[in-house]
Structure 1
Amino acid sequence: MTILQVLGTTLILASLLTIVEGLRRIFFHPLAHIPGPKLAALTWWYEFYFDVIHQGRYVFQIQELHKKYGPIIRVTPDEIHVNDVGFLDTVYAPSMSYRDKYEYQLRTLRVSGGVGTTVSHEMHRKRREALSPFFSRRNVLYLEPLITRKVEQLCQVIGKHAVEKIPANLSDLFFAFSNDVVTNFLFAHQSDLLSDEGKVATLRENSNSLLMGININKHFPWLPDFLESLPLSISKSIMPPGLIDMLSLFDLMREELLRIMKAKSSKVHDEKPLGPTGKESVYASVLDSPVLPPSEKALLRLEQEGALLVLAGGESPAKTLNVIFCHLLSNLAILSRLRTELATTSDDASWNRLEQLPYLSAVIEEGNRLSFGVTARAARIAQDTLTYKPSQYVTFPVKAGTSYTIPPGTPISITTLSSQTAETVFPDPFAFYPGRWLGEEGRERRKFQMAFGKGGRKCLGIELARAELYLVVFALIKKFDMTLWQTDESDVAFVHDFQVAMPKMESKGVRVMAELI
């Protein structure tokens, strides 16, 4: 047989196998009974088209598909998306319910050692248990002075802009603030990005650029694998700046780990008061954890854990603060009502005290809702058969008695875009309206808030983030009169999904002119 004949036979066989697999996916797959476009059921290239070619637009395409196919659809060959907040507690079940994450989706971040990127339910439970004491409300309250000092520094920087009558880029400053807080909260080494606005602007731009490439990681995981396989002397010259920043972060994590390990081996004890956890660093807490096996205390795993905690803890509060201040400064009636409430509270009010203010709490809740948290599909996989029946919250026309059986092992997701713009719960969903969170109806709506996730895998750092949001909003509204400068609500609108909500590509961030009050 000639080479051409071998190639021809191979091509024919490959074509036949492709056709057979295509027919299986569309007609004989366990999810063949789930509605949705045949192209999405046939191939991941459909997702790729909206994820990569159209730059993070698949979550929006999914919303359009629901209008055509109903509340439950098949969005890839093996994944279901549900647009029904009545099904949230089934998908994102409490910690006692067994739910794995979907490994395919976690390829975007490439830090499998982090608690937030752990596939296995059991391994997640152990990793989370080791970290939980450090993120407890009690520990956040103990370290509240650390946050307060950074809030004061943030006010000083904005005050300098006010005195010099030059615009301040709040997006840069909030990015620096939240990164400083989470780093100084978690680790023994200290960060002071707020002292260098030029550096912060570059780091934020690099971070955004890095996030814009994560969907390529998901569809072509061999590309970053290849890059990482090259000697650093070669790969560094072709790496995006954000990835170089990430490597620098890993270096910092490694230095701290090695210092702690050295201190432990030499039995050197820190005599400083260390608060409720008795640990200076989250790494010391993890290394001493009895619930983790030795393999979980390996250097690379812990480097990834620390890096992911910094990335998540630095990104989320900053995004929410951008949303809050852009909308407050665009809606003077809301701002006036908030100022009236804050005028009843002393300038040195604690986080505990601020949480008692209903309208401030409503403003922060609405900011969380419209920042959307993790915007990517965060599928969960149940090990048992589930049944979906449309709930009272569905607006799509469905036949009475409609139900769908979901086989075990099926990845199921409900995006935060779907949940937090559900019109049956949040009328006029894209409007910034804090009043929706007041009273008994507001308390009822909180069970649909997905900004920090839901169930057994909800955000570990929720208490730290809440403390930051309350203290920053309170301080800046009390101390400054700000107006938007070359900024409007499009600068915080959710336009692209790159794991977090991104606005229009040309946005420079939320910029203001400030005056001291």
Structure 2
Amino acid sequence: MAVTIVQVLGTALVVVLLRTVVGAIRRLYFHPISHIPGPKLAALTWWYECYWDLFQESRFVFHIQELHKQYGPIIRITPDEIHVNDVGFLDSVYAPSMSRRDKYPYQLKTLRIPGAIGATANHDLHRKRREALSPFFSRRNVLYLEPVITEKVEQLCRLIARHASEKTPVNLSDALFAFSNEYVSLKVGSSELTGYSVVNNFLFAHQTDVLANEAKAATLRQNGNDLLMGININKHFPWFPDFLESLPLSISKPMMPPGLVDMLALFDCIVLTELQRVRAELVGIMQAKSSGSTSGKQMGPTGKESVYDSVLDSPALPPSEKALLRLEQEGSLLVLAGTESPAKTLNVVFYHLLANPSTLAKLRAELSTTKSSSWAELEKLPYLSAVLEEGNRLSFGVTARTARIAHEPLTYTPSPYSVSAAGGSKSHVIPAGTPISITSLSAHTAATVFPSPYTFDPSRWLGDAGRELRKFQMAFNKGGRKCLGIELARAELYLVTAALVRGFEMELWETGEGDVAFVHDYQVAMPRVGSKGVRVMAREL
């Protein structure tokens, strides 16, 4: 008897159902982390996480905090991943560089730039990539580049001064985004104080003076937000962006976020000029090195003309790591991280300073004790340092889960810092190869460490007790994967904060706490939908 289509489909359906049932039983009862408490639905399927990411406006990190109240300090949040709500376990998860910790490839899908250091899963490959980049992010090189940063601070001050003279509000969020975007372009591009490098061309920063065009700054900031709001689609449906890019723009454009549309339009305009020139310069560097010729310019403490020069010369990297696409991806993530994080911290700092006049007065009084505007001298001011630490804490850094995978079993026993009432003091063995995360939200709002965690209170960072708190700061991540650009970001925060506090009296204008609050997790903290940012009326001092 001939097999009918109905019989084939029926057999296929039975096979699928059997596989689903067997898989569900395995995940619930025979999986290596089946002994970890948590909701059964989260253990069964990634659709649980997908629901909170896509249909609840990316609020899974907040839901995880609620789950901890029910299930205890250690919970299973996906079929493969564990989350721990205990800052006493931070150093076990985010271990020093000598301890092997891989990143979780599943979470890195959001970035779609596998060649970048921040999207590198393998511990050993990450160390090699970091070694090649580290000289350009050293404190010594930041000090060398300080005049470049200071020049951009002065331009930022001129922008605000113009609004002050015209008695018009300034969108501080747009201005700070423009400043950070230009600053990171300069800081990673070259150790020279004049001229432009390959990264500058790649980022188009030398052709578009964003601080001089507030409308463009506003558009770029909004486009950046739109792009970040699409990252969860990359994680749960990684095929979808590839599918859109394969379609003619006339078809795909209605399905794209505005930020992506504008980015594609920009590339359409410059792809035959700027992008080709970027690649031509990179190829030129590669050819010069293969022939043994040099430009004769070796500027700054790195002894290299550009960050790409350093990478191409690195003996730690194999030829595959020096490919054109890999280098372009590296540069794109450096600018994304270097723009978003400092700008958000400065937004938080200035909102809370202006909302708390006594805090601002105390900071201004401290700044009046020195006439120096150098980063090295500003770092010595304890209250300014405390204000910036608190700003980093409440901006949360990377808010997405950044799981680590240990190659040895770990044992979790609740520490005195554990904030979950359920679960008692029971220990749990975590098998080797398990992704484990502690979100910056979890760490930075641990009431056992930061009482009244959502209150902006710089005094908590003062004295010996404040120095002890720094081990719980995750704004720049921790361990061997700690932010490569931490010194550069710190210089920016100190120089901008000191300059604006000394130079201007500002009042919040049509701005509330919801404009800086952490409401949505799109890799970084996003405020309420519809927020126009921090806006102020300024007066020169």
State the secondary structure of the residue aligned to 1:77: coil
SS in structure 1 of the partner of residue 77 of structure 2: strand
Equivalence for 2:349: 324
Q: CA deviation at 1:238?
A: 5.5
Q: What does 1:15-34 align with in structure 2 at a 5 Å threshold? A: 15-34=17-36
Following the alignment from structure 1 to structure 2, what is the Cα–Cα distance between the partners of residues 114 and 231? 28
**Which residue number corresponds to residue 44 of structure 2?**
42
Cα pair 1:254 1:303 within 8 Å, conserved? no
In structure 2, what is the equivalent of residue 227 of structure 1?
244
**Deviation string, structure 1 residues 177-234 (Cα, Å, up to 9, x no partner):** 0010110111213542111111111111111011001011100001012123346787
- Residue aligning to 2:212: 195
Match of 2:497 in 1: 473
| Whole-angstrom distance in 2 between the partners of 1:259 and 1:14 | 53
- SS of the aligned residue for 1:405 comes to strand
- Equivalence map 1:73-472=2 (5 Å): 73-187=75-189, 188=197, 189=200, 190-191=205-206, 192-230=209-247, 239-244=256-261, 255-263=277-285, 265-266=287-288, 269-272=294-297, 274-346=299-371, 348-397=372-421, 402-472=426-496
CA distance in 2, matches of 1:457, 1:232: 38
Q: Secondary structure at the match of 1:76?
A: coil
CA distance in 1: counterparts of 2:507 and 2:456, whole angstroms: 17
**Equivalent residues of 2:179, 2:211 under 8 A apart:** yes
Aligned in 2, Cα 1:195/1:171: closer, same or farther, shift over 3 Å? same
Q: Is the CA contact 1:167–1:511 (under 8 Å) kept in the aligned structure 2?
A: yes
CA contact (8 A) 1:374 1:499 kept: yes
Corresponding position: 1:513 with 2:537: yes
Contact map agreement 1:253 1:303 (CA 8 A) in 2: no
The answer on whether the counterparts of 2:153 and 2:496 sit within 8 Å (CA) in structure 1 is yes
- Please state whether the residue corresponding to 1:132 is helix, strand or coil: helix
Distance in 1 (CA, whole Å) between partners of 2:339 and 2:114 is: 19
Most deviating of 182-191 and 152-161: 182-191
* Cα distance in 2, alignment partners of residues 16 and 246 from structure 1: 46
Distance in 1, matches of 2:433 and 2:367, equals: 50
Q: Return 359-368 or 397-406, whichever deviates more.
A: 397-406
Q: Distance in 2 between matches of 1:45 and 1:78?
A: 13
Q: Matched residues, percent identical?
A: 67
**Over residues 290-319 of structure 1, what are the superposed CA-to-partner deviations in whole Å (9 max), with x where a residue is unaligned?**
111000011111110000001000110000
Where 1:427 maps in the other structure, the secondary structure is coil
- State the AA in 1 paired with 2:54: V
Equivalent-residue separation in structure 1 for 2:36 and 2:345 (angstroms): 35
For residue 260 of structure 1, report the CA deviation from its aligned partner: 4.0
- Whole-Å Cα distance in 1 between the matches of residues 363 and 275 of structure 2? 40
**CA displacement at 1:83 relative to structure 2:** 0.1
State the distance in 2 between where 1:395 and 1:460 align.
Answer: 30
The TM-score with structure 1 as length reference comes to 0.96
Equivalents in 1 of 2:410, 2:468: separation in Å?
Answer: 26
Is the 1:253–1:307 contact (alpha carbons within 8 Å) kept by the matching residues of 2? no
Structure 2, gaps ≥5 residues long: 190-196
Shift of 1:118: 0.1
Question: Structure 1, residues 8-51: CA drift from partner, whole Å, max 9, x if none?
Answer: 11112111211111111111111111000011011111111111
Distance in 2 (CA, whole Å) between partners of 1:22 and 1:294 is: 44
Q: Deviations over 1:430-455 (max 9, x none)?
A: 00000000001000000000000000
CA distance in 1, matches of 2:343, 2:63: 27
Q: Matches of 1:233 and 1:130 in 2, distance apart?
A: 41
Question: Structure 1 residues 232, 263: CA separation in 2 closer, same or farther (over 3 Å shift)?
Answer: farther
Q: 1:232 to 1:127 in 2, by over 3 A?
A: farther
Q: Distance in 1 between matches of 2:73 and 2:365?
A: 42
Contact 2:389 2:458 in 1 (8 A): yes
Do the aligned residues in 2 keep the contact of 1:70 with 1:396 (CA within 8 Å)?
yes
Q: Show CA shifts across 1:233-265 (max 9, x none).
A: 875676434235656589667633531431453
- Give the 3 Å change call, closer, same or farther, for CA 478–253 of structure 1 in structure 2: farther
Per-residue CA deviations over 1:150-185 (Å, capped at 9, x if unaligned) read 000000000001011110001001100001011011
Specify whether residues 254 and 211 from structure 1 end up closer, same or farther in structure 2 by C-alpha distance, changes over 3 A only: farther
- Find the aligned partners of 1:158 and 1:308 in 2 and give their Cα distance: 29
On the 8 A contact 2:85/2:420 being kept in 1, the answer is no
Contact 2:70-2:422 at 8 Å conserved across structures: no
Q: What is the total number of aligned residue pairs between the two structures?
A: 516
CA deviation after TM superposition for structure 1 residue 268, in Å: 6.0
Change (3 A) 1:234 1:360: same
Contact 2:285 2:309 in 1 (8 A): no
CA distance in 1, matches of 2:381, 2:8: 76
- Given that 2:403 and 2:438 are in contact with CA atoms closer than 8 Å, whether structure 1 keeps it comes out as yes
